[in-house]
Structure 1
Amino acid sequence: MPHETAQRSAHRSWRRVVTALGLTGALLAAAGCASSPQSTTAGSGGGPKGKTVAFVGYGSTNQWAAYFNGVFTKKLVAKGVKVKDLTTMDPGTAVQNFNQAIAEKPDLIVTALLDTTSMAVPIQKAKQAGVPVLVFDGRPDPKVDGDVMQVVSDNVALGTAAAQNIVEGLTAQGKKTGKIFVITGTASSLVTQDRMKGFKAEMASAPQFQVVETQDGNWDPTRSGQIATQLLAKYGCSGIQAAYGMADYMALPIIASAKQAGCPVAGQNGLVVTSSNCFKAGIDAIKAGTLYGTATEDPGTIAEQTADYVLRYFNGENPSKKETVREERVTAKNVDQFAAQCSKA
């Protein structure tokens, strides 16, 4: 019938217009996405229950890692996530474990980067295999920065805080000059490199205080004590006025080594020691007056935020691709404010 034929023809014409408009809108939206930076990451959705996480984090032989790993794993397991422990403190083993994780195709790889450079290729492989990666604590190699999600510490701020503590401590003692040694975390990690970037930049504003030695302590308290003993023997008590151990558990062995060598610590003329990665022992040392200061980056806070990020991702909430944990400097002036936060490990 002509009327029905005309109606069908009109409907077909209208569908063509709608389809064209839809395609135009899609093309415009795609162009808009291509021209603006990606601020969020598409979550997998469906909720966390039954999801698998390959956890290539720091090994629990490290004090900071032991607490982080416990908090992180417990929070995910409670929501039904299956967490495979592939943690280690050996950079080479971390690369092997990461490659193993890719082969097993988990829903997510969560990793720390002991050696930032050596982990770049495995991260690229994960992207090619379609396995999403979340990096925590320290940022990845710049060439794969856009290939991963991140929950990172503000490591530059932590280094800045350490330098401020040293300058403030030496100035309070009336020192006009001073020599400093630094015992770092794993030197191949951007966690360490970023802290040294902040530390050096801040120390440049006080050129009367000079860093004479920087050595890799690999986040190891025993090694930190050994290095401190060697350096104090090399320079003598009068040859070193301050020291930076990159974590509380690295700074306290410096204090112990100084006391064992007969060097005065803190007070009007003693060694000024500072750190980061606050722990209960560090808070107690600040209150006792032997540790001048520390900074946050406590394992509990970042573990909670990292686990929360994973859950938001699995819930399809599209969290921002990068989240930075706020850090604070801690000294005797404000130690009570951070005592609870820093005393969980």
Structure 2
Amino acid sequence: MRKLALGLGVLSLSGSASFAGDLGNVYVGVGSASSEYWAAFIEGAKAVAGSKGKDVNVIVSDFNGQKLLEQFGAVFATGCEGCAIAVDPASNAFTKAIVERARDAGAKIVNLWNRPDEIHPWDTAPDAWVANISFDGVDSGYRNGMELCKALNGRGNIAALQGIPDNPPAKQRLAGLEKAVAECPGLKLVDVQVGNWDQTQGQSITRAWLTKYGSDLKGIFSANDGMALGAVAALREQGLAGKVLVTGSDGSSDVMQLIKSGDMLSTMYIDGYVQGATATALAVGVITGDIDLAKLKEEQRDFYLSQTLVNKDNVEAILNGKHVAADYSYDKVKANFWAASVGQIPAGANK
């Protein structure tokens, strides 16, 4: 997996091009310093910020919302007028606090992944919280679940690795899997364990499953690629890679190579680069006056981005796809801020 050399505080990644006088500093708050998805997200943010003559300051939470809040608290302490922020608050518990503190500091903020179902950008700090952007976890879980159903000819025991329990994507992806299992009656979900998005935990849990279920375990559903990589590592220890089917979600290049080799079945490719560019551009657009929040519809402030199921049939094409920063300058994204949107997040999706 591609590594991004970041510390745990705020780091500056250089951009270029013209300066926008009323745009302050640009910040992104990400979950991990070693995730290929987050590395792509930062690159997308850099493409937009760099085209406005700004660096991207990176804050790494390690999926710890309190840590993230404390780090942004230091940023906000002296004011952050005109700052553009795109942040994953790590869990629903911290979303309201960080958007309200951004408002108080004079910043504009786009939230990622974690939004409690009862709050929205139009009713909570509505002049500062620009948008909430995510990917449809139910769709991801369902389509990966149906891949397992198809590959197992409609029957067999499977187990699931879940992410951080109160994260909407973790809950949604498991709900999608359960929907697939209900439609594939020969498929039996024998266990669900929390792996907290972590590769090492995914490996340990899979080892325990192999001890408990042995050859009766036919498939492993993982709610992200990191835990899936851990599952494959455990299977390799027993010579079972490619024999026990594994699915993931994120679309990391490591996992796609495993799909090519037959050691994994599928993953859901979520485009971190496009998400980073879109989120950053929306925050910048409000600051520069290109977006009037009062005129936006709800579906423009709370939406899913498109995603692609990857299996052996299309993995080569996805692996060969590359983003070019010039195609994601602020002016290019501004032409249609919502080009990658597939619609509003439905009510109840984040419960």
TM-score by length of 2: 0.73
* Alignment match of 1:271 (pick from 234, 244, 260): 244
Superposed counterparts of 1:1-345, under 5 Å: 47=20, 50-73=23-46, 75-89=48-62, 90-106=64-80, 107-127=83-103, 131-136=107-112, 138-146=113-121, 147=124, 148=129, 149-171=131-153, 176=155, 178-236=156-214, 238-263=215-240, 265-266=241-242, 270-318=243-291, 320-341=300-321
- Tell me by how many angstroms 1:343 deviates: 10
Counterpart in 2 of 1:39?
Answer: none
Partner of 1:96, secondary structure, is: helix
Verify the 8 A CA contact 1:62 1:220 in the aligned structure 2: no
Verify the 8 A CA contact 2:132 2:303 in the aligned structure 1: yes
The residue identity in structure 1 corresponding to 2:316 is D
- Identity, % of aligned positions: 19
Post-superposition CA distance 1:265-293 (Å, at most 9, x none): 43xxx211111111222222112112111
Verify the 8 A CA contact 1:273 1:292 in the aligned structure 2: yes
Q: Call closer, same or farther: CA 1:87–1:341 in 2, change over 3 Å.
A: same
Q: Call closer, same or farther: CA 1:143–1:53 in 2, change over 3 Å.
A: farther
Distance 1:283 1:61 in 2: 17
The residue identity in structure 2 corresponding to 1:143 is E
Distance 1:184 1:323 in 2: 23
Distance 2:120 2:233 in 1: 40
Distance 2:23 2:96 in 1: 29
Counterpart in 1 of 2:8?
Answer: none
Distance 2:257 2:248 in 1: 13
- Tell me by how many angstroms 1:47 deviates: 4.3
Partner of 2:94, secondary structure, is: coil
Post-superposition CA distance 1:195-216 (Å, at most 9, x none): 2222222222113212222222
Post-superposition CA distance 1:97-129 (Å, at most 9, x none): 344444343223321031112333343444466
Post-superposition CA distance 1:147-175 (Å, at most 9, x none): 3312222222211221111111111xxx6
Distance 1:161 1:338 in 2: 17
Number of aligned residue pairs: 289
Q: Call closer, same or farther: CA 1:271–1:129 in 2, change over 3 Å.
A: same
Partner of 1:204, secondary structure, is: helix
Q: Call closer, same or farther: CA 1:325–1:170 in 2, change over 3 Å.
A: same
- Tell me by how many angstroms 1:85 deviates: 2.6
Distance 2:310 2:56 in 1: 34
Distance 1:183 1:218 in 2: 9
Q: Call closer, same or farther: CA 1:157–1:317 in 2, change over 3 Å.
A: farther
Q: Call closer, same or farther: CA 1:230–1:298 in 2, change over 3 Å.
A: farther
Q: Call closer, same or farther: CA 1:62–1:68 in 2, change over 3 Å.
A: same
Q: Call closer, same or farther: CA 1:129–1:249 in 2, change over 3 Å.
A: closer
Partner of 2:189, secondary structure, is: strand
The residue identity in structure 2 corresponding to 1:159 is G
Q: Call closer, same or farther: CA 1:221–1:315 in 2, change over 3 Å.
A: same
Q: Which has the higher helix share?
A: 1
Verify the 8 A CA contact 1:101 1:109 in the aligned structure 2: no
Post-superposition CA distance 1:214-250 (Å, at most 9, x none): 22222222222122112212222x1311001223332
Rg larger for: 1
- Tell me by how many angstroms 1:323 deviates: 3.9
TM-score by length of 1: 0.74
Gaps of 5+ in 1: 1-45
Gaps of 5+ in 2: 1-18, 325-351
The residue identity in structure 1 corresponding to 2:139 is A
